[in-house]
Amino acid sequence: MQSGVVGLLPNDLRKITLDDIRELRVLGFTGTTVSLGEPDQYRPEEFQRIRDMLHGEGVAVAQANGLYPSLVDHDEKVRAAGVEGLKRHMQAARLLEAHTLYVRPGSLNPAGSWAPHPEHQGERVFERVISSLTAVAVAADAEGVILALEGHVLSVIDRPSRVAEVLRRVPARSLGVNLDPVNFVGSIWDAWTPQALINRLLDATRGRVVAAHWKDYIVDKPLVLHISEVPIGEGLVDHVAGLTALNEAAPDTWVLIEHLPPEQIPPAKRNIDSAMSEASLIWDER
């Protein structure tokens, strides 16, 4: 497995400096997420410049992540714009030589891509995401881009069985999974037994995990049930067991620390490195 991070580089490509990239390497990361912004926000040469800067310092683009309309919107034109936006992001991902292109299914809630909506768990909306993802994956096959699809308990792709169904019904070699176990903690039973949840996700995605967002969480005090993310090593996840299982299922995947402010990333990296060592695993620095 390879070590990467989300959130240490500026979101604006034009503001990324060599010092930013060198900080990644000093911390021991060999991969990073690069934000693409809106489709067509940057010129091709700007992506090429960032790629060359990163490669010159020994850092790969583990994941490219852009903005585009929801793939499950009620309006067919909005869904089509989401598909077209992802297609343009594929071209940017190729220029960056990104290992994966992050894909979120979107939401019916205007508050954001991972915000809840009562229709998300219905069959009609699930059929929409299958249709949209099929169109996206066909284009990715043609472009030679690997997609990293993420789910969430509040989204239309809300549980391991839904992930497995998407992989079964979208016949494209380009469609992979961005494993984010914390996103799927949807009950107190899952919260107390995170390794069982990780195992179910790995069973559902066997052979298709291309990247993972690695996080931690606690069960918080407010009623009724609140799950709060915390820095790696401060929560309920058994990182030794989780990374061992991930390595067995997807030994070539990227493991990306996510959702932490810059000052919390160095101790999180030390904790995940310690878990890797305890598991007798080492990072692949290819």
| Average pLDDT over every residue of 226-245 | 97
Q: Token pair of 10, please?
A: 């500026």
The C-alpha atoms of residue 225 and residue 222 are separated, in whole angstroms, by 7
| Average pLDDT over every residue of 262-271 | 97
The C-alpha atoms of residue 240 and residue 184 are separated, in whole angstroms, by 19
Q: Does residue 230 register a pLDDT over 80?
A: yes
Q: Does residue 13 register a pLDDT over 80?
A: yes
Q: Does residue 27 register a pLDDT over 90?
A: yes
**pLDDT per position as a tens digit, 47-80:** 999 999 999 999 999 999 999 999 999 999 999 9
pLDDT at residue number 4: 98
User: What does the DSSP assignment read for 85-154?
Assistant: HHHHHHHHHHHHT-S-EEE----SSTT-TT---TTTTSHHHHHHHHHHHHHHHHHHHHHT--EEE---TT
Q: Token pair of 153, please?
A: 């308990």
pLDDT at residue number 223: 87
pLDDT at residue number 169: 97
pLDDT at residue number 113: 94
The rounded percent of the chain whose pLDDT value lies above 90 is 96
pLDDT at residue number 62: 98
Q: If DSSP states are collapsed to H, E and C, what string results for 8-34?
A: CCCCCHHHCCHHHHHHHHHCCCCEEEE
Contact between residue 173 and residue 206 where contact means Cβ atoms under 8 Å apart? no
The angle subtended at Cα 86 by Cα 84 and Cα 91, nearest 5°, is 100
Q: Does residue 158 register a pLDDT over 80?
A: yes
Cα 242 to its chain centre, rounded Å, is 17
| Average pLDDT over every residue of 165-191 | 96
**pLDDT per position as a tens digit, 239-254:** 999 999 999 999 999 9
Contacts of 42 (CB under 8 A, 6+ apart): 13, 14, 36, 92
pLDDT at residue number 285: 85
pTM more than 0.95? yes
pLDDT at residue number 201: 98
pLDDT at residue number 227: 95
pLDDT at residue number 171: 83
Q: Does residue 286 register a pLDDT over 80?
A: no
**pLDDT per position as a tens digit, 90-142:** 999 999 999 999 999 999 999 999 999 999 999 999 999 999 999 999 999 99
For residue 57, the tally of other CB atoms under 10 A from its CB is 15
pLDDT at residue number 152: 98
